[in-house]
Amino acid sequence: MIQISLHLFASSLFVSSRPARHIAFERAVRLPAIKNMESELIHNGISQV
């Protein structure tokens, strides 16, 4: 979990150096993908138990 948060922090720093259009694109595409991935991991963990 710590590695994921560090990666997100580093990627957010990387995004902040880009134009605003890229930031909007990152928020629109990557954040929902990350949330979907997290919910799938949680769902898979529950179904495995």
pLDDT of residue 14: 62
- Both tokens of residue 46? 């529950």
Contact 49, 38 (CB under 8 A): no
- Which tops the pLDDT comparison, 40 or 12? 40
Does 34 have pLDDT greater than 70?
A: yes
pLDDT of residue 38: 83
pLDDT of residue 36: 83
| pTM for the structure as a whole | 0.36
pLDDT of residue 33: 83
CA distances from 17 to 5, 20, 22, 31 (A): 19, 9, 10, 18
